[in-house]
Chain A
């Protein structure tokens, strides 16, 4: 067989691009099973208490209303505990149960649903439902003083209350140079453009769910446990996802609502959450307050890192983050101590949002490193180089690959870091102050067990199948490229089918693990197929010829891949260095990012075009985190008040002028045979502290509260 030019490494355009731009890609909410009805969810308007009375009379008399569901008439659901909780669920506490009782645990909790023939009727009827509450005193204030240690289960899950090495407090006391600073990061929301939506359809005791999700097979598992059903009777379909950033990792209450409503209405039901509902129907990045103390000798060598974090958490479920992991892994330092606390509030449960935990901890750590560089009078890049972690000092393992030094060097050169005048407030253009800032990016690389089925046909095409997801990173394309190369076929001869729970097993589409997991399984499946082809009695030039020579229409093979010994022998991580120029107009309280360079070590890059797209998306997320994204919380109502895209600000194109992405050479074949590390989370890591450090360089003022909005600049 004549192998075509390898597709891996080529900037192939998205294979699903034409379908998306022409509107033929069918997203979960666009399926239309026969007899589809529409639900509107009614949510609580108090943060804590009980429902005293629900008046549904007016709603029920509206023509076209099929059912009104609440705890008064919903089926009692078993909500069985799972033997092993999926990694996307908190390890402690219980998920929110829907329509199982009158208790209100947070403002915005689903309390009823109206099913009607049209969405408009459902919405109108929902607004007619009257609910009387018995209010209880709610904890709606973030008070770090009330912080408690994570539970044992949470600690075992890698989010301990305390961790570290050496004697950090002793070393801090004796350090020649110290930094002690407190940082606040606001609650942030994912705000993917596609809202969360589920269509539930029962046929007898079989349930099909069309759902916006990053993990179809976990939806099967979760719903099976919620309803006490046999997993074999549930199928979840989700071929396209319009952005998620972690909000679609879990199986949220509205999925259960759709299934209940469909059962009660006796026909398929579609539940789509409104933009405003998305601010408490799915999770968010929790408000987190941190204190970082660094000790160093006069040469800038770190002698102590003490990082403490307190994050908000719901009362019913304990979502905790790996916020303090970067303190232990980013730099070489003999003495590290971390302390993690959870502040219970009457809120809905937070959840992972791009770079969960790491991006939060890294913000404070890297901001503090910039403060240390200033105290030392040392270039911030030089300080990082002097504290380069040659091994993962938390685990003692060597890195499977690490090109971070090259990231610093390449990024600095492309950015023109050498032009930075160290003195704050020393660079200016017109009325604007100019600031340069940088930060390290780090995000651990993981893999999960994955399976793939590969099929070749006598017409020379191939199909690969896996229950993976593609929420936008380009999974359809990159894994098609991998399969094309493994089969020796052109990219357009290979089709990747995903997003169906009946397909071979795929791990969660999150934590940047998909390419390394599912991609490796694709290689394995295609290699198994090649072996089968090679063993066929009759030989042909191409795959198609070989099949025809053997009178075969098709040939199938399965392959699987899973992490192995390398996880015991090595630590794996993506790395990066982010450089930012900001312009600050102090008089107008305005900070704008002028340009950004990100140099990344993500191992082998399968598709540089899509990889760049991933990175600029992450950079934009970081700009939002640093400069504009925040939930405006009203403590009296226990509510996010700016729950819409007009007042919750995400960066627009005008905020993101010049984003330069470079991938430093490197392959990590210890981590996996493809040599590719994950690429998603890493792109948001380090962006916020690079920006806040640039703001300090521009203005000479440390603003330790993100986002840095006008009042913090002018105030």
Chain B
């Protein structure tokens, strides 16, 4: 770890001007950033602590639900508004990390956590995301954790957040404090595909500070399930996950929101699955046919080919579980 300065900010206002310097990085829970610094992956010269800038708590608004970016994961899980109106988010967070990590990590930081790609995390190996132009050993290496969607010859690193998968399914927006004023970005647009610039991961500009996540009203109060598949029963990132929320009226699927984690270079929305649901009767056959489209367009490597059937099965299970939930409402 290199020497750095640390300063705690009191307000989000003006933060972006403070942070708009090369080598300056925000820190909140620090559960990922400190590891990146210890491993020599990140070398910030200045840390601006934004964990106490007043952007905490969950607020129900007329047009949706706003979750302050500095809210700890554990507090969001326990928040009554989230429990009642965003069960998919609560379930995704409860499946994340460990209680200790959830007590520290924040919503904004969770969305910005770095990939778990083994080559990104080991500074002795090439990685285009870490060292532009150095290469991508994951393409033909240990890639069981890597992506089957959204990859490029330059990068197949998965996005690691569970929360982001649920939020992408819910068409959530990221609220950003920017020098020119506040800006709202759809989370699905917020994340960038690696292309030939895998080191550009989000739409954030230098100095930008995430202050909140906003879930629009039409995505609240929906039955939904977050299913996470992993090698051990707890405290592990997803091999594959599926986030599902459905609107059903008179036995017909009126709206469907389906996204997957552990499979994409960003949280992966599955429109092909949604298309096979909307307007169809809510029955076993519909759900199964829809799930079978989950892996359409997948581009697996030998090490992660198992994610293709796994994804189909996980989506099928999450759909079935959501249907059960709906039936029992």
Q: Measuring CB to CB, which residues of chain A are less than 8 angstroms from any residue of chain B?
A: 45, 107, 120, 123-124, 127, 276, 431, 587-590, 592, 627-628, 632-634, 636-637, 639, 641-644, 646-647, 649, 651-655, 709-711, 714-715
Taken together as a complex, chains A and B put the C-alpha atoms of A655 and B234 apart, in Å, by: 8
What are 18 A-B contacts defined by CB distance under 8 Å?
Answer: A592-B233, A634-B125, A636-B141, A641-B118, A641-B122, A641-B125, A642-B118, A647-B116, A647-B118, A652-B232, A653-B234, A654-B233, A654-B234, A655-B232, A709-B231, A710-B231, A710-B310, A715-B306
Taken together as a complex, chains A and B put the C-alpha atoms of A587 and B292 apart, in Å, by: 13
Partner of B125, one of A590, A637, A654: A637
Partner of A124, one of B3, B125, B239, B316: B3
Q: Is B313 interfacial (CB 8 A cutoff)? A: yes
CB distance from B33 to the nearest CB of A (A): 15
Identify the 3 closest CB pairs spanning chains A and B, nearest first.
A654-B233, A711-B306, A587-B313
Residues of B within 8 A of A654 (CB): 232-235
Q: Is B23 interfacial (CB 8 A cutoff)? A: no
Q: Is B229 interfacial (CB 8 A cutoff)? A: yes
Are the C-beta atoms of B122 and A643 separated by less than 8 Å?
yes
Are the C-beta atoms of A587 and B317 separated by less than 8 Å?
yes
How many inter-chain contacts with C-beta < 8 Å in the A-B complex? 96
Residues of A within 8 A of B313 (CB): 587-588, 714
Closest to A274 in B: B38
Q: Is B2 interfacial (CB 8 A cutoff)? A: yes
Taken together as a complex, chains A and B put the C-alpha atoms of A107 and B63 apart, in Å, by: 56
Are the C-beta atoms of B118 and A651 separated by less than 8 Å?
no
Taken together as a complex, chains A and B put the C-alpha atoms of A297 and B181 apart, in Å, by: 83
Closest to A657 in B: B233
Are the C-beta atoms of B234 and A714 separated by less than 8 Å?
no
Name the interface residues of B212-228: CB closer than 8 Å to any CB of A: none
CB distance from A621 to the nearest CB of B (A): 14
Partner of A120, one of B3, B142, B306: B3
Taken together as a complex, chains A and B put the C-alpha atoms of A127 and B124 apart, in Å, by: 11
At the interface, is chain B mostly helix, strand, loop or mixed?
A: loop
Taken together as a complex, chains A and B put the C-alpha atoms of A634 and B305 apart, in Å, by: 18
Taken together as a complex, chains A and B put the C-alpha atoms of A303 and B128 apart, in Å, by: 58
Q: Is B137 interfacial (CB 8 A cutoff)? A: yes
Taken together as a complex, chains A and B put the C-alpha atoms of A652 and B97 apart, in Å, by: 12
Taken together as a complex, chains A and B put the C-alpha atoms of A632 and B232 apart, in Å, by: 16
Taken together as a complex, chains A and B put the C-alpha atoms of A590 and B306 apart, in Å, by: 12
Residues of A within 8 A of B145 (CB): 647
Partner of A632, one of B40, B118, B309: B118
Interface string of B9-37 (1 = CB under 8 A from A): 00000000000000000000000000000
Residues of B within 8 A of A642 (CB): 118, 142
Residues of A within 8 A of B192 (CB): none
Residues of A within 8 A of B142 (CB): 632-634, 641-642
Residues of B within 8 A of A587 (CB): 313, 316-317
Taken together as a complex, chains A and B put the C-alpha atoms of A637 and B39 apart, in Å, by: 18
CB distance from B186 to the nearest CB of A (A): 30
CB distance from A715 to the nearest CB of B (A): 5
Partner of A588, one of B119, B125, B317: B317
CB distance from B153 to the nearest CB of A (A): 17
Taken together as a complex, chains A and B put the C-alpha atoms of A647 and B119 apart, in Å, by: 12
Q: Measuring CB to CB, which residues of chain B are less than 8 angstroms from any residue of chain A?
A: 1-3, 39-40, 116, 118-119, 121-122, 124-125, 137, 141-142, 144-145, 229, 231-237, 239, 305-306, 309-310, 313-314, 316-317
Are the C-beta atoms of B40 and A127 separated by less than 8 Å?
yes
Taken together as a complex, chains A and B put the C-alpha atoms of A649 and B124 apart, in Å, by: 22
Residues of B within 8 A of A634 (CB): 125, 137, 141-142
Query: Given A647-B116, A647-B145, is A652 in contact with B310 using a C-beta cutoff of 8 Å?
Result: no
Are the C-beta atoms of B1 and A120 separated by less than 8 Å?
yes
Most buried by A among B121, B141, B232, B234: B232
CB distance from A332 to the nearest CB of B (A): 39
Are the C-beta atoms of A714 and B306 separated by less than 8 Å?
yes
Are the C-beta atoms of A589 and B310 separated by less than 8 Å?
yes
Residues of B within 8 A of A646 (CB): 116, 236-237
Taken together as a complex, chains A and B put the C-alpha atoms of A652 and B232 apart, in Å, by: 8
Are the C-beta atoms of A628 and B232 separated by less than 8 Å?
yes
Closest to A656 in B: B233
Are the C-beta atoms of A639 and B233 separated by less than 8 Å?
no
Residues of A within 8 A of B118 (CB): 632, 641-642, 647
**Extra 20 A-B pairs, beta carbons < 8 Å, given A636-B137, A641-B125, A642-B118:** A120-B3, A276-B122, A431-B317, A589-B310, A590-B229, A627-B231, A634-B125, A634-B141, A634-B142, A639-B122, A641-B118, A641-B141, A641-B142, A647-B121, A652-B232, A654-B232, A654-B233, A709-B231, A710-B306, A710-B310
Taken together as a complex, chains A and B put the C-alpha atoms of A259 and B87 apart, in Å, by: 57
Taken together as a complex, chains A and B put the C-alpha atoms of A588 and B237 apart, in Å, by: 15
Residues of A within 8 A of B141 (CB): 634, 636, 641
Taken together as a complex, chains A and B put the C-alpha atoms of A588 and B2 apart, in Å, by: 42
Are the C-beta atoms of A127 and B306 separated by less than 8 Å?
no
Closest to B312 in A: A587
Taken together as a complex, chains A and B put the C-alpha atoms of A634 and B229 apart, in Å, by: 25
Residues of A within 8 A of B2 (CB): 124, 127
Residues of B within 8 A of A632 (CB): 118, 142, 144
CB distance from B283 to the nearest CB of A (A): 19
Residues of B within 8 A of A107 (CB): 124
Residues of A within 8 A of B309 (CB): 714
Query: Given A588-B229, A590-B229, is A652 in contact with B235 using a C-beta cutoff of 8 Å?
Result: yes
CB distance from B295 to the nearest CB of A (A): 13
